[in-house]
Amino acid sequence: MFRNIIRGIFVFLVGLCLVVWPEAASEILVKVLGILLILSGVITIVYGLATNTFQNLKGMSLITLASAVLFIIAGAVLLARTGFFIGLIGFVFGVILAMYGLLQIIHTYNIAKGIQGRFWLYLVPAIIFAVGIGMCFFPRENIKILCIIFGICLILLGAVELALVFKFRAVAKRMQQAAQEDADRIRENQNIVVEAIEPEEEPEAPAEEPFAEENPSVAEEDSDESNPDFEAGKE
């Protein structure tokens, strides 16, 4: 659960940075991509040298070395021409959107023949096509917009994950309390059953007192008769 909290906070903060600083965020993303490409090429070359993969530069070993070198070159170019590649990414993304919208328009035309009100079916593909054309003319500005949209999505994802974590904790706490209450209730019912089954203890009978204590006059007569002076006086 602690890991989910950390991940939710991290995603939320990344999204917030993308929304607040879209231009700087786009540059950072391109630079991070360039650094990753360079690291990938360097690691591939180092691994190949350590394992003697490049002893015979034929087949896959040659392709692996060439791809590693291309990764390093591409990463260096990304770091050197960050602004250019930001615009290029926006332009490529615009071309992709425009092509997708055009293909959807053609596809809708082929399947919507004879359908009444079919012109509404062209609305969404036409909007996508127009957005793609606009991105081709203003690539850098559209990259900012994409960063902002992507940042909003990350903020929502992070907030939802944090909300789910705290909701889960609350539910787990309530379940634990309910389980404890059930256990206490079961224990109380068991005690009631045990008390009902056990027989009640009979009260002890009081000890019988000596007869002399109950009749003191009789006891005195007995004691007088046994006295020798009493016998002499009687004679």
pTM of the predicted protein model: 0.52
Got the DSSP string for the chain?
A: -HHHHHHHHHHHHHHHHHHH-HHHHHHHHHHHHHHHHHHHHHHHHHHHHHTTTTSS--THHHHHHHHHHHHHHHHHHHHHTHHHHHHHHHHHHHHHHHHHHHHHHHHHHHH-TT-TTGGGGGHHHHHHHHHHHHHHHSHHHHHHHHHHHHHHHHHHHHHHHHHHHHHHHHHHHHHHHHHHHHHHHHHHHHHHHHHHHSPPPPPPPPPPPPHHHH-HHHHHHHHHHT-HHHHHHH-
pLDDT tens for the chain, 235 residues long, are: 677 788 888 888 888 888 888 888 888 888 888 899 899 889 988 887 877 766 666 666 777 788 888 989 988 988 888 888 888 877 887 888 888 888 888 877 777 666 666 677 778 888 888 888 887 888 777 778 878 888 888 888 888 888 887 777 777 777 887 888 777 778 777 777 666 675 555 555 555 555 444 455 544 445 555 555 544 444 5
